[in-house]
């Protein structure tokens, strides 16, 4: 359930947003904890209206495990190696 090592090759370049179940070493130049919207133009999320929930509904939220999100600017054709902390 954890990443030990990951190798990712960028074909287009741009911002890589990586979500993993455990912390990674941030030794790769430019890699940092992600904040805000993803600047990569290929990653777009649609704006959707808020859900309509009945006042009588009982909502049970799922128990989601913590994840870690990183951003890394990439160059086309280059490989990036990530190793767990």
Q: Running DSSP on this structure, what letter comes out for residue 14? A: E
- What is the pLDDT at residue 43? 81
pLDDT of residue 16: 93
pLDDT at position 67 is 93
pTM, full prediction: 0.75
How many whole angstroms separate alpha carbon 8 and alpha carbon 26? 15
26 versus 44: the higher-pLDDT residue is 44
Residue 27: the pLDDT is: 66
C-beta separation of 15 from 40 below 8 A: yes
Which DSSP letter does residue 21 get?
A: S
- What burial class does residue 1 get, using C-beta atoms within 10 Å of its C-beta: 0-12 exposed, 13-18 middle, 19+ buried? exposed
Residue-wise pLDDT tens digits, 38-82: 888 888 788 899 989 999 999 999 999 999 999 999 999 999 988
């Amino acid at each position: 359930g954890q990443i030990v090592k990951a190798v990712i090759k960028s074909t287009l370049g741009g911002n890589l947003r990586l979500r993993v179940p455990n912390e990674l070493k941030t030794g790769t130049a430019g890699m940092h904890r992600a904040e805000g919207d993803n600047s990569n133009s290929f990653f777009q999320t649609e704006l959707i209206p808020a859900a309509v929930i009945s006042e009588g509904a009982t909502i049970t939220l799922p128990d989601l495990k913590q994840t870690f999100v990183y951003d890394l600017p990439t160059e086309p054709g280059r490989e990036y190696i990530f190793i767990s902390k």
